[in-house]
């Protein structure tokens, strides 16, 4: 049997594949640029913001530490 439209179907499939690959490459490039910009922005944060981000978890650490026994507390 002869399928007259097989070449057209294969050409459309190839075109769709190439377009999908190009779109994936664009998205990957945009993601890399976005990550690079975020890293550069994070490097320019003030000292206070960097330290305050680390100190924010201090109350959680205080609540999860084991209480000391009375003998350790008195000395």
- What confidence tier does 2 reach under pLDDT thresholds 50, 70, 90? confident
Residue spans per domain, the chain: 1-54
Cα–Cα distance between 4 and 9 in angstroms, integer? Answer: 10
User: What is the three-class DSSP state of 28?
Assistant: helix
Cα–Cα distance between 69 and 74 in angstroms, integer? Answer: 9
pLDDT in tens, 7-48: 999 999 999 999 999 999 999 999 999 888 877 776 665 666
pLDDT higher for 44 or 4?
4
């Amino acid at each position: 049997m002869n399928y007259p439209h097989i070449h057209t179907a294969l050409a459309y499939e190839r075109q769709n594949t190439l377009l999908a690959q190009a779109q994936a490459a664009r998205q990957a490039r945009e993601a890399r640029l976005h990550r690079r910009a975020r890293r550069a922005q994070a490097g320019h944060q003030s000292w206070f913001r960097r330290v305050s981000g680390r100190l924010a978890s201090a109350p959680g650490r205080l609540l999860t530490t084991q209480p000391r026994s009375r003998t350790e507390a008195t000395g």
